[in-house]
Structure 1
Amino acid sequence: MNSRRPRRPRAPWTLRRRLVLAVVGLLALVSVSIGLVSVAILRASLLDGLDQQLSAAADRSRAVLEGHRDLDDGAPALFLPTAEMILNGPAQPPGTLALVFDGTSISSGYTTVSGDIAALSTHQKEILARQMQPSRAVSIDLGGTVGDYRIMADVNRDGVLYLVGLPLAEVNGTAAQLAIIVGVVSLAGIVVVAVLALWIVRLALRPLQRVTETAARVAELPLDRGEVSLIDRVPAADTDQRTEVGRVGSALNRMLDHVDVALETRQASERKVRQFVADASHELRTPLASIRGYSELTRRTGQDLPPDTLHSLGRIESESIRMTGLVEDLLLLARLDEGRDLERGPVDLTSLLVDVVSDAHAAGPERVLGLDLPDEPVHVVGDAARLHQVFANLLANARIHTPPETTTEVALSVLGDRAVVTVTDDGPGIPENLQATLFERFARGDSSRFRGTGSTGLGLAIARAVVTAHHGDLTVDSHPGRTCFRVSLPLG
């Protein structure tokens, strides 16, 4: 079993970082290329100069060997050419290396800085012996304290092979010094360019940042409800069509104009609907009261009426009562939608919940109700009647939609600067597909039009609207075996 944790996806690079790194990377690439080319050209130039010196040293060496041969011309058997002849020759610079092979023996050595002649090791002789064929100048590493040399092999008129070399230390040192200088200067230039690029890119992206801030402010607006006015726009300076950011800003402004018009149209339509609902609800109150009054009066006249007539009058009266409640709920929602202020005053949630639970117990004596209150009273500022209606609706919802053996618990607590009331039951829970629309108007647990429960589908919508008007929150958490409605209100 693999216990390794999954790797988190790497965060994408911002446009600012990509631009700065691209500029710095290109500058570094150009600097490295210039440095390598400069060092290569300098080294080639120095090697050309060293090869000229080496060629002159080889000519002098030939002249020295042939001069000694002429001096010993009377006794040819005694002439033995050696490397010391070359090294002790005129105008040989310090560090000159020589190796002479006369066909039977090899002599070699090199001059030190002090002018003394030092011997070469056997390994170094073997390395040089492999280069004894006359050819152009080549570079070779002899290792140890001798180091790199530029050597050239040749043969004199007597067939004596000799090899002359000059040290590459000065050439290598000069090239290395140039490489260090180019590297330091390039590094300093990259740092300066990185700082300047960061500043320039940040300055260049400010218009894009302002466009982003405008879009973020609009995104935070509650565009799905209420009257919203989109006054935020991208500044005119950031809408120049000749620039890329300007085209983005201009497109965003045009989109906001279209959204603003659509919102105004929606708001006008909603205002008409709310006004219609308010007017219709207000006008329906009087005829509904008349229907209820006449049906009740007819039923109580004491006259002998057929049973079916009495049943019909009872149904008319009960339906008029239900319709009156529906009209009152619609009128309340219309007023809340219009933003009418609720009554504002100190409300003791502790005593209010005691009354609500008592009323719920009277409405359902068979129900098991619990109440958990803090030791000290909890006060908020609001409309006591409407808050009473909120908690009554929540308890009525639990009573109507759960079996009789269900236990309902009401609890009050204080969390920070908020008063929190929870209504929890151990019923079957709310279906998951209904929870998303639970607080919408006329939301029901099924699609039937059955009215046996007396529910209008507006109780929870009214509860959330009242809580929202009190600057609070109403949420629900439900699964089989537990449903919890949570009301959070600011403390008074």
Structure 2
Amino acid sequence: MTFLRLPSLPRPRGIHSLRGKLTLANVGLLALGIVAATAISLMGMRHYVLGQIDTELTKSRDSLVRSQLTLREIDSLSALAVVRDRLLPHSGGDSPNPDSVFAAVDRHGTVLTVAGLKPTDAQQALASAVHDPAALVVAPQPRDIHLRGDPYRVTGARLADGTYVLLARSTRVLHTGMAKALRLDLTIGTLLLALFAALTMISVGRRMRPLEDMVETSSAIAEGDLTRRVPSSRETTLEVEQLRTALNSMLHQVESAYRTRERSAAQLRHFVADASHELRTPLSAIRGYLQLYDKGMLTDPVERKRSWERMMAEADRMGRLVDELLVLARLDQRPELRFRTVDLSRLVQDAAEDLRAQQPERPVTVRADGALLVRADESGLRQVLGNLVTNVRVHTPAGTPVLLGLEREGEAVRLCVTDEGPGLTEDDATRVFDRFFRAGRGAGSGLGMAIVHGVVAAHGGDVTVRTAPGEGLTVTVTLPERAHDRDHR
């Protein structure tokens, strides 16, 4: 498998990163909260202060109405108000307008002279701002006006003689306080937003560290390091930890699948190379004899017969090799075996008799605890026994004793084929089930033990070897009593 080397990706920064978006979202929500809280507080302040001013103006108006006074009767009061306005023209701070203004007007809105005193500028401005005194008198609540640029609340009352009295109260303090409160809220809110943004960036960065580790791990795996895993982090959440565990499990499966694929590909290449080599040898021999025959060099009948026999032997060898390759191919495809009840002890006896017939001088011993019935494919088991016996016959001297043992072990049956031959080295023992493996320069195709392993594995069993140089070889086949019966019923 070829890995693509990916360029190192920089960590995402700015508002387009997840960290930036989360920070902007949190800061935006906090900003909305601050704006809402500021608006509610300012509205509450305005409502409270205006309520106080309106209450005072309404009480003054109601007092004038209930008293049924005339203009003449309130001359002294008006005179005192005019004197106060003249003596204290700047009582409202930096503004030339006073905090309270009292003026008497007729029904046309003209300011009347009270106690012989000329109306002040504030009284003139108040009369000019109120265009219809009669409408102001019947209004249930005071209303807003502006006197020379300053905000006021004004109400009116009608005296017994038809004269209108205008009462105004400055709200400049309210607007100044609201402006100061707004500036204070904006300053504190800005500081809170900056602090919250910094804390959010730090917190999100710590929480995002496992995701950055996942990106680094993925990049390392893409470059060929299949052993990399996402490390655990102390600063993590349940969802991120679940993602890390799932990703590590997936990476383990990917690594296992890749290793298996590489191993299978290597075995396939080795198998194809060995099969080509094994088939080329008999073909080369047959081609050589045919070339001799074609050139007329086999004139002697004895040589011609011997060449014919050699070609037939090589053809038979090639045929057996192809048959064994077909058996292995079918085993690789996991064919459906024909399971039925088989007496394994009878198959062992038949294999022993075949070996005695082929090599009468070889001591053959059979140990079996009576009839042992298993659910298995009879032809496959016969092939296993035939290959094991053939392996002993080909690779050990003719006088070497052989023991075929059969016993029940729980719900399994154990078959042992033991010889007292030269044995195998440790390296050869680890490769004894490889295809086309032959210890030293041994005879045979090197597929017999591979077929044994494949057939036993198809039955759900296991096969092992125990050997050492000069101590013989023991092949142990363990089969379940009801091998794959449910899968092939």
What TM-score comes out, normalization by structure 1 length?
0.44
Instruction: Please tell me whether Structure 1 or Structure 2 has the larger radius of gyration of its CA atoms.
Output: 2
Instruction: Answer 1 or 2: higher relative contact order, Cα 8 Å, separation at least 6.
Output: 2
